[in-house]
Structure 1
Amino acid sequence: MTSVKAWPLLLLPLSLVSMGTADCPFPVLNGKIILSSESILKNSFPDNSVAFVECAKGYVRKEGSTSITCLNGVWSAVELICKKIDCGEPTRSPHMSYVISDGTLFGAYIKTICETGYDLEGSSHRQCLVSGWSGKAECILTTCNLPDPIEHGKMSAPRDKPEFNDVITFSCDDNYILVGNSFITCGEYGDYSSPPPKCIAITTPTKESTTTNKATTTDMTTDMTTASSRSHAITTPTKESTTTNKATTTDMTTDMTTASSHSHGGLIEALTTGFMSASAIIAAVLGGISVYRHLKYKGANNQTAPLL
């Protein structure tokens, strides 16, 4: 009986030993820190085993240990501290700038902008990756296609492939006139400020057209003279028509005098009255002088007559 009761006492230390050597579960870490490729392949983590950790993609080690230890079924604290990769500002090329609104850390985007008159070749947006900024971009000077030559004129360009702000001039041959702008400018989008002009011939009248014009003018003059003669036919006035015309003229004169008198109103009336008054005074004076001379002459004749 004594031996039977002693067996539990002998098994107790063995159970305590097995409880102290429990395995640790698979480590649970945050997104910045992950198990190394070596440790992640293990199927179990017995007591006192070590697992290695590292910074996740896009992060770099700042400080702290890169290992954790399994103690009595529990992992030791993670001491590794990781921070995001900083790509910094991208290298600037000529005539290029960037819009950096999200910063320069891992995962951020920036926008590429070219100066006016330059075309962007490459990525319009770049991202900060583990290897640095993604993509490549370059600003190329804008060019325009050379316009087609104009008929009956000349074109002058600074180069075979006009560039931004280049000016192309046009001129016409003799006896041609230019219609449109005499110069056009290569724009920032590869088009010109206006369409090329045209050269239009100046028309000069020939001898045949001049003769035809003269004949046409003569015919028109003859027709106009005939029409005028027909509309203004000359008739010889008869006695009756003369008398009628006189009566008509007298009536028209009377009507015109009456209308004039009405239209001029008091002014004509005042002038007429003044004129008549002056005429009356002058007539009276002249009459008095005439009577005086007559009486004087008569008296002289009476004194010289012989006495009977």
Structure 2
Amino acid sequence: MGVSYFLYLSCLGLAITAQDQDCSRPVGGPNTVLTDNRETYPTGTTVTFECETGYITAGGNPRITCTDGTWSPLSLKCERRNCGSAGEVENGQVDYPEGTEFGDKLVVHCNTGFALVGRQEIICGSQGWMDRLPVCEEVDCLDPRIPNSEFVQGSRPPHGYKATVTFECKPGYTMEGSDTLTCQINSQWSPGLPKCSK
């Protein structure tokens, strides 16, 4: 009985050690995300990783396999998405002070005499630049209308940046304010429009 009991225990031990071990939840590499949310995985299970938002695959295999409680190595490499150049803005410059990768932003500056229409700063997102480039429009001040006055000299419409116009009041009227106006970068006259009062 002792020999057969010993053989029985030996076989039982072999059966226990031959039993497969589960794997715990695997840990990925930098900027990777597991696509499966289980806590344990039976041997033979294959899981897949993907790159985090804002990152793209730069080579390697996204899959690993559980074998007797151990995961095969993950070779997936992820790098920040590069949005590249957003293009050019006529009558302005596009600057990339931080770079052109995910999370970076570009800044647009208009040349002197041109005003920005649109967003000045645009962020590089997971699908590319997150907005259209703005445009730089030439500054244009509306022709000033000053009741009871007469145009004396200066620019004619359109009135661009730094254009000047001079007015005088009609006979019998006195000017309150400056008789000469200058078109500013915000398309407003400076100083404010004068008045011609009796």
TM-score clears 0.5: yes
Alpha-carbon separation, structure 1, partners of 2:178 and 2:9? 114
The number of aligned residues is: 195
Alpha-carbon separation, structure 2, partners of 1:186 and 1:128? 36
Aligned twin of 1:158: 156
Alpha-carbon separation, structure 2, partners of 1:175 and 1:95? 46
Local SS of the residue matching 2:12: helix
Amino acid in structure 2 at the alignment position of 1:12: G
Amino acid in structure 2 at the alignment position of 1:24: C
Contact 1:171 1:182 in 2 (8 A): yes
Higher helix share: 1
Local SS of the residue matching 2:167: strand
2:56 is the counterpart of 1:57: no
1:17 Cα offset (Å): 0.9
Q: 1:109 to 1:92 in 2, by over 3 A?
A: same
Aligned match for 1:114, one of 97, 110, 113: 110
Contact 1:31 1:56 in 2 (8 A): no
Alpha-carbon separation, structure 1, partners of 2:82 and 2:144? 49
Local SS of the residue matching 1:89: coil
Unaligned runs of 5+ in 2: none
Q: 1:147 to 1:63 in 2, by over 3 A?
A: same
Aligned twin of 2:23: 24
Tell me the alpha carbon deviations over residues 142-162 of structure 1, each in whole angstroms, 9 at most, x when there is no partner.
232432335253467623x63
Aligned twin of 2:69: 73
Unaligned runs of 5+ in 1: 202-308
Tell me the alpha carbon deviations over residues 23-47 of structure 1, each in whole angstroms, 9 at most, x when there is no partner.
11101113411223xxx14453111
Matches within 5 A, 1:148-187: 148-151=145-148, 153-154=150-151, 158-159=156-157, 162-170=159-167, 184-187=181-184
Contact 2:25 2:38 in 1 (8 A): no
Q: 1:110 to 1:184 in 2, by over 3 A?
A: same
Asked which structure has the greater CA Rg, the reply is 1
Q: Which has the higher contact order (CA 8 A, sep 6+)?
A: 2
Aligned Cα RMSD in Å? 3.2
2:106 is the counterpart of 1:134: no
Aligned match for 1:87, one of 78, 83, 86: 83
Higher strand share: 2
Alpha-carbon separation, structure 2, partners of 1:166 and 1:127? 36
Tell me the alpha carbon deviations over residues 108-149 of structure 1, each in whole angstroms, 9 at most, x when there is no partner.
122221122222222222111111112332222223243233
Aligned twin of 1:190: 187
Task: Give TM-score scaled by structure 2 length.
Answer: 0.79
Aligned twin of 1:15: 16
Task: Give TM-score scaled by structure 1 length.
Answer: 0.54
